[in-house]
Amino acid sequence: MTHPDQQPAARPVVTASAPAKTNLSLHVGSPTPDGYHPLETLFLALDLRETVTATLEPALARRGNGITVSVAAEAGSAYERMVEDGSARLSDIPLDGSNLVVRAALAVCEALAVPVPGIALSISKAVPVAGGMGGGSADAAAALLAVNHLVAEHAGVAPLSGQDLHRIAATLGADVPFMLLGGAAIGRGTGTELESVPAPAPLHLVVVPQDQGLSTPAVYRQWDEAHTVVNAEAAPHGGAPTRSGVVPDPVPADVLEALAAGDVDELAARVRNDLQAPAIRLLPELETLLDHGVELGAVMGWVSGSGPTVCFLVRSADAARRLVADFDREQRRAIAVTGPATGAGITSHE
């Protein structure tokens, strides 16, 4: 029984953050029998970050899977302004077991061989939803770190190693391992085989979210439709088109050299995203926006990942601020960011 003068023990809380990303190169291959498209991509982590707080809540252990999720827009962020003006909806984010943070938490508990002790996960969002910048993957990476430290300390066991977390991350999604790593890296396979590459000079970008998201599977289906060939033997007898055996091109050495040198012009000339054309077919106004950003002073622009967020490369922080101001005058949300940024990390542990 607690004495009236005693304060209840504080619940353990661990907070972690993880970066958004863009792809400076994204080369796609034909899907394998399991439906995954092999990739060769050059990831760049951005200083726009998602934050996940994990709190030990023993009472939750007796409810469902023992995990609850809440979400709020990060205070003062461009995403909060998008929510306020109705161009983004927090209701688009699932709060059930389909959210990657729940899958991450359950996987950590299983790997630690510890029953779920009751965990409340709170997501502070700054990365647009379904925008091709890996916001959900960043949430998962941050949750992996936060829950690993929270549950290991609670159970009195050693936390999982970085290698263990990377292995779990690869089961959660193609971008999640990179969100743990950060910086700049080549991703191969489904994107989970990573090789860090030098990027010593900061790159300045402006990201422009859209009022509507794009479904990643829908964008890939568009790519598939553009890369089909008719089986000459089957077609006359009513056979269906079959996918051509496209192998993703490797990330070119000259792209890596431009990144390592911080050469904005050389890099701009070599950015390539095989999913950009499919995204534009689904959302044609993206092409107009890409041209408009260059007219306003960007060196070049591209669709981030599967879209529909658009990234513009500029020469300096001042140029980024000017481009954001120009978009603001047009009542269009834009965010100045830099890369590379650090990967997922613990920000507080109480």
Residues labelled catalytic: 21, 175
- Alpha carbon 253 to chain centroid, angstroms: 25
Residue 345 region by backbone torsions, left for phi larger than 0, else alpha for psi between -120 and 50, else beta? beta
Give me the sign of the Cα torsion angle 155, 161, 164, 165. Answer: positive
State the first-to-last Cα distance of the chain, in angstroms, to the nearest integer: 24
- Match 């939803």 to its residue by tokens: 129
What does the DSSP 8-state code read for residue 65? T
Pair of tokens at residue 300: 């070049």
- Spell out where the chain has E strands: 13-28, 39-56, 67-73, 119-125, 184-189, 193-196, 203-208, 228-229, 242-243, 272-273, 300-303, 310-314, 335-339, 345-349
β-strands 67-73, 272-273 pairing = unpaired
